[in-house]
C-alpha cells in the first residue's frame, strides 16, 4: 500500500504462472540512492499501531529471543494471500509455544543491490507491511538491509547467525520457493534440514494458486498495470489500496467541475493501477486532531468514491495523481491522511473536447461507482 508524497515532475504449460520476483522497500521520503537504501541508517526501532519494528540485525534486543521465537521470513510485498498464510501459521505456532511471533523481512531487497535496473515497483512501504502483519497477530518485525556481507553467508551461516543466535527460533515458517544464503544456494528443503539439525521446526508452505495463477506480488503488479483491480483484489484478499496525505492539486475539481477531489501524489517507485477511472472507497485514517469527523466524513469509515488515476489529459498533462471524489460527503481534507481502495475499473483515461462533455462523463462515473459499491457490499 504505497504512501503518498508531494507532487513531483514527471509458465508452466496449461497455467498462467508468473515468476514471483520481490524487491526492496523504500521509505516514503527516500530516493533510489543506495546511501538511503535502508531504514537502519535512520532508526533503531519504531512502533506502528502496536507492532515494534527493529531496523538492522545489530539493533534487535537480546530479550526478544530470550524464551524463543517463531519466525516467518520473506519480503512480503503487498502481504497477499500467500503471505497471509505464512503469517497466520507463524502466529498460531507462536501461541502454541507461548513465544513471540516475528516477521523477518528486507530493505533493501537483494534485487536492488545486484540487479538495480530490474527492481519492480513497490506495493507498499515496510511500515504498511508491518501494520498488515500486526493486524493478523504478528508481535515484532525485524527489517534488515541486504548487504554484500550478508550475501556472502553460506546457508548454514545464515541459519546460525539469524535464527539461532539472534532470534533463538523454535519454529520457522517459509514459502515453498524460499531461497537464502550465498548465491541463493539455500532452498526451503535445505532450510528444513539445517533447522531440524539445530532443533528448529521448519514449516514449508506450498504456493497458492487462483484461476491458474500463482498468487504472488508479480501477478498483482501485472494486474494493476492493466487496470485489473478486481484481479489484484483476488490475489490480495482485499482491495488494493494506497495511502497518504491529501495535498493541493489544480483546484478545478470543485471550482470548475463541481466534483471536488482529494488528491494524492506518489513517487514512481510505487505501483498504481493503470490510468483510468475506478470505483472504490476513501477512508480518513487520521484527522490530525483526534476528531471523530472531518466535515461530514466519519474518521475510520469507508466512504464510496469515484477515483481517477492519471495526468488529466483534458487539461494538458500534469503530474500523475490519484484523485478521489467522495460521494455524498463534504470536508476540507488537505493535510489529512487518507486510504484509497480500488474495487472496480470503470473506464480508461480519455480526453474531452469541452468541460460539459467531461462533466457528463464524471456524472456517469459517479452513477457507475454507486452500482459497483452496492455490488461489492452484496446489496
Distance CA 336, CA 284 (A): 7
Cα-trace Rg, the chain: 22
Residues 331, 186 within the same domain = no
Residue 19, domain member (yes or no)? no
pLDDT tens, residue by residue, 249-298: 655 544 456 788 999 998 888 999 999 999 999 999 976 777 889 988 99
Q: Is 253 helix (H, G, I), strand (E, B) or coil?
A: helix
pLDDT of residue 32: 32
132 contact partners, CB below 8 Å, separation of at least 6: 1, 79, 124
Residues 58, 186 within the same domain = yes
Kindly report the pTM of this predicted structure: 0.84
Confidence of residue 47 (pLDDT cuts 50, 70, 90): low
Residues 270, 177 within the same domain = no
Phi/psi at 44 (5° precision): -95, -45
CATH number, domain of 326, equals 2.40.30.30
Residues 98, 191 within the same domain = yes
Phi/psi at 282 (5° precision): -120, 135
Decide which of 189, 210, 231 is a domain's last residue. 210
pLDDT tens, residue by residue, 155-203: 999 999 999 999 999 999 999 999 999 988 999 999 999 999 999 999 9
Residue 117, domain member (yes or no)? yes
Question: Within 13 Å, how many C-alpha atoms sit on residue 292's CB side?
Answer: 0
Total structural domains in the chain?
2
Q: What is the mean pLDDT of residues 313-338?
A: 84
Residues 94, 153 within the same domain = yes
Residues 284, 336 within the same domain = yes
Residues 92, 135 within the same domain = yes
Residues 205, 245 within the same domain = no
Grid cell listed for 312: 488529466
Residues 182, 52 within the same domain = yes
Residue 361, domain member (yes or no)? yes
Residue 155, domain member (yes or no)? yes
Residues 144, 251 within the same domain = no
Establish whether the linkage from the previous residue to 211 is cis, with ω within 30° of 0.
no
CATH number, domain of 119, equals 3.40.50.620
Distance CA 377, CA 368 (A): 14
Residue 18, domain member (yes or no)? no
Structural domain for 148, as ranges: 34-210
Grid cell listed for 26: 523504500
Decide which of 210, 229, 256 is a domain's last residue. 210
Phi/psi at 180 (5° precision): -160, 170
Residue 351, domain member (yes or no)? yes
- Spacing of C-alpha 309 from chain mean position: 18
Mean pLDDT value across the chain? 85
Position of cell 515497483? 121
Decide which of 210, 225, 258 is a domain's last residue. 210
| DSSP code at position 273 | P
Confidence of residue 350 (pLDDT cuts 50, 70, 90): confident
Amino acid at each position: 500500500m504505497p504512501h503518498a508524497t508531494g507532487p513531483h515532475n514527471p509458465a508452466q504449460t496449461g497455467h498462467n504462472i508468473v515468476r514471483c520476483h520481490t524487491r526492496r522497500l523504500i521509505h516514503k521520503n527516500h530516493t533510489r540512492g543506495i546511501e538511503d537504501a535502508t531504514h537502519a541508517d535512520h532508526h533503531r526501532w519504531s512502533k506502528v499501531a502496536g507492532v515494534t519494528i527493529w531496523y538492522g540485525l545489530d539493533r534487535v534486543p537480546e530479550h526478544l529471543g530470550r524464551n524463543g521465537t517463531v519466525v516467518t521470513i520473506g519480503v512480503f510485498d503487498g502481504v497477499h494471500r500467500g503471505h497471509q498464510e505464512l503469517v497466520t501459521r507463524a502466529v498460531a505456532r507462536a501461541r502454541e509455544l507461548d513465544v513471540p511471533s516475528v516477521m523477518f523481512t528486507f530493505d533493501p531487497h537483494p534485487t536492488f543491490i545486484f540487479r538495480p535496473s530490474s527492481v519492480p515497483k513497490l506495493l507498499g512501504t515496510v511500515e504498511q507491511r508491518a501494520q498488515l502483519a500486526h493486524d493478523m497477530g504478528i508481535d515484532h518485525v525485524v527489517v534488515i538491509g541486504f548487504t554484500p556481507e550478508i550475501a556472502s553467508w553460506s546457508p548454514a551461516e545464515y541459519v546460525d547467525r539469524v535464527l539461532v543466535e539472534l532470534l533463538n527460533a523454535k519454529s520457522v515458517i517459509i514459502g515453498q520457493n524460499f531461497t537464502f544464503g550465498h548465491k541463493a544456494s539455500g532452498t526451503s528443503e535445505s532450510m528444513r534440514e539445517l533447522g531440524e539439525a539445530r532443533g528448529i521446526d521448519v514449516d514449508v508452505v506450498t504456493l497458492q494458486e487462483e484461476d491458474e495463477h500463482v498468487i504472488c506480488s508479480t501477478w498483482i503488479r501485472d494486474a494493476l498495470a492493466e487496470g485489473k483491480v478486481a484481479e489484484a483484489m483476488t490475489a490480495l484478499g482485499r482491495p488494493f489500496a494506497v495511502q497518504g496525505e491529501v495535498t493541493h492539486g489544480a483546484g478545478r475539481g470543485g471550482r470548475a467541475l463541481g466534483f471536488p477531489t482529494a488528491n494524492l501524489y506518489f513517487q514512481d517507485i510505487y505501483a498504481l493501477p493503470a490510468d483510468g477511472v475506478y470505483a472504490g472507497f476513501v477512508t480518513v485514517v487520521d484527522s490530525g486532531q483526534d476528531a471523530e469527523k472531518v466535515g461530514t466524513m466519519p474518521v475510520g469509515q469507508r466512504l464510496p468514491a469515484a477515483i481517477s488515476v492519471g495526468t488529466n489529459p483534458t487539461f494538458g498533462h500534469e503530474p500523475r495523481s490519484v484523485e478521489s471524489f467522495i460521494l455524498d460527503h463534504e470536508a476540507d481534507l488537505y493535510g489529512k491522511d487518507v486510504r484509497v481502495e480500488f474495487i472496480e475499473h470503470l473506464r480508461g483515461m480519455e480526453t474531452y473536447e469541452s468541460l460539459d462533455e467531461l462533466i457528463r462523463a464524471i456524472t456517469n462515473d459517479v452513477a457507475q461507482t454507486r452500482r459497483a459499491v452496492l455490488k461489492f457490499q452484496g446489496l
